[in-house]
Amino acid sequence: MNHPAVPGSAIRNAMTIDVEDYFQVSAFAPYIARDSWPERECRVEANIDRILAILEAGNVHATFFTLGWIAERYPAMVKRIVAGGHELASHGYGHLRASDQDRAAFMQDISSSKAILEDLGGQAVLGYRAPSFSIGHGNLWALDALSEAGYRYSSSIYPVQHDHYGMPDAPRFAWHPENAGGLLEVPITTVRMGARNLPAGGGGYFRLLPYSLSRWMMRKVNQDDGQPAIFYFHPWEIDPGQPRPDGINLKTRFRHYVNLARMDGRIQALTRDFAWDRMDRIFLGKA
């Protein structure tokens, strides 16, 4: 699917936020018991309010892939997202990886989260992103399940090689998977270098690499490929003061905490350096 730039204007890129709190990230699962979540300090609401302010200042509309678990606890926050003109989309209910569920459990997860978000947001929820990009060769049936549940698009397959996720031979740009009921899959942005796809659309790589390099990669996708970039980040990534659980191994600590203090400024820079919009408007033609 090609989305060439309109003559005289910049390509609109998709700004996306995965709405979860710091204690819900998959890498912390071995260290933080799921049944302890309700007792932990939640910081997501304040972080979302800061993100909404950044987006409003930059005149940016975005897509918020939101956990049902979070939405139930912060309904007013969900309403503020919608009131800001942003798209509400699903990140599942409780941040369970799609690859760790059978079809029945997955259908329950994606259907319940969709219903919660639609009830709170008052708008159709058309998009889904799997926690930790956990759809790949081993569970492509999940795409058909998403279509059956009423979703129009997914952003769940990351075409990179990674120790926690990835399907490096998947298409780099928006595509319609076979046997998925017409569902559109929209991957996070990568840049092709030699025989490999390099991550270029957010996450820990965006915090680790110099901002100028990330900006160059996204511009390369816009200019050389004629495609919109899909960028993602999490509310906890703009929160250097978040609690730091004990016992986290060195690799996980580095990945999670590197350059958190720089993230707020970098998101503001992105709003100045690129044109942005919601996923549904860019890829579904929604008005």
pLDDT at 1: 41
Whether residue 279 is contained in a domain is answered as yes
Whether residue 3 is contained in a domain is answered as no
Whether residue 2 is contained in a domain is answered as no
Distance CA 48, CA 284 (A): 25
Q: Are the CB atoms for 23 and 40 separated by under 8 Å?
A: yes
Whether residue 223 is contained in a domain is answered as yes
Question: Residue 127 — left, alpha, or beta (φ > 0 → left; ψ -120 to 50 → alpha)?
Answer: beta
Distance CA 135, CA 117 (A): 22
pLDDT at 162: 64
With H, G, I as helix, E, B as strand and everything else as coil, classify residue 88: strand
Q: Are the CB atoms for 268 and 6 separated by under 8 Å?
A: no
Whether residue 7 is contained in a domain is answered as no
What's the total number of domains in the chain? 1
pLDDT at 29: 92
Distance CA 238, CA 236 (A): 5
Whether residue 5 is contained in a domain is answered as no
* Phi and psi, residue 33, nearest 5°: -65, 135
Which candidate, 225, 170, 167, 232, places its Cα nearest to that of 201? Answer: 232
Which structural domain range is residue 120 located in? 12-283
Residue with tokens 């979860």: 20
pLDDT along the chain (287 residues), means of 10: 42 98 94 96 98 98 98 98 98 97 98 98 97 95 98 95 74 95 96 90 93 96 96 98 93 93 97 98 91
CATH number at residue 257: 3.20.20.370
Q: Are the CB atoms for 113 and 64 separated by under 8 Å?
A: no
Distance CA 51, CA 37 (A): 23
pLDDT at 77: 98
Work out the angle between the directed axes of helices 44-57 and 75-83 (0-180°, nearest 10): 10
Whether residue 228 is contained in a domain is answered as yes
pLDDT at 86: 98
